Chain A
Amino acid sequence: MKVGSFMLNLTSDDAERLKAFYRDTVELTPNPAYGEGAFDLTPGAVIAIDGHSDTHGLAKEPQRALINFMVDDLRAEQQRLKAKGVQFIREEGKEEWGGIISTFLDPDGNYCQLIEYKP
């Protein structure tokens, strides 16, 4: 399939709270061209947060889809997020393939991860 751009759409019954988290805590860069609640992931990839009539409360299967951010300095980023009150459920876990992973929750309980991998 020829994909022009890619958009991950995260839905919530409190979209404003979720938008504030990704904007002010994770500190993603807003992408107003895609609308309010859209943020750049990489060039040509956007995450857009909005409401959905079927989405209520916390994620029931957060492990089914994980959003991973590849970072240079996992420890520093984790400390920054923890200082802002972000809840981590895994800290600096070592993977057999050599990477280090920390897992944190957004306000809806979706799983986000920091990954540091220096082959």
Chain B
Amino acid sequence: MQFNSVLLNITSEDPPRMAEFYTKVLKLKPNPVIGEGAFDLNDGTVLLIDGHSETKGKSKEPHRMLINFSVPDLKSEQSRLKGEGVQFIREEGSRAPRGPCRTPPPEEWGGVISTFLDPDGNYLQLIEFNPS
């Protein structure tokens, strides 16, 4: 398919609370051209948070779509987020308290993953992968 850019639209019952999390806690870069609640993930990929009449409360299936941020220093980013009160369900490849972890640490491909939740319980992940 020919396309120019990709926009991932996450919907919420409380978009302002979600947008505040992505702005102030995750510190993603706002994209005011797309509008309020829009953030640049990288060149040509945008995350947009808004409301939807059918989206209520917490995510019922957070494991179906995971948003992964590849970072140069997972440990420091995880410390920073924990300092902001972010809830992690998996830290540096450790086994999660329940189900969602697929493989024991580190990943068989050599990466390290930490999984945390946004205010709606969507699964976000930090990935550090330094192929040697």
Contact = CB atoms under 8 A, between A and B. Distances in A.
Interface of A: 1-12, 26-28, 35, 41-45, 52-55, 59-61, 63-72, 77, 108, 110, 113, 115
Nearest to B3: A69
A2 B68 CA distance: 13
Contact of B66 (A11, A42, A71): A11
B2 A11 contact: no
B81 to A, nearest CB: 8
Most central of A3, A45, A67 by chain B CB within 10 Å: A3
Task: Find the residue from B6, B55, B70, B99 having the highest chain A CB count within 10 A.
Answer: B6
A50 to B, nearest CB: 8
A52 B14 CA distance: 28
Contact of A2 (B3, B61, B63, B72): B72
Contacts of B61: 54-55, 59-61, 64
Contacts, number: 142
B45 A69 contact: no
Nearest to B77: A1
A11 B70 contact: no
A45 B44 CA distance: 9
Nearest to A113: B9
Given A1-B71, A8-B65, A44-B43, A71 B3 contact: yes
A11 B123 CA distance: 12
A56 B52 CA distance: 24
B70 A3 contact: yes
Contact of A65 (B6, B11, B54, B100): B11
Contacts of B65: 8-11, 65, 110
Given A11-B66, A64-B11, A68-B9, A6 B55 contact: no
Interface string B44-77: 1100000010110001110111111111100001
Contacts of A70: 3-7
B8 interface: yes
A93 to B, nearest CB: 14
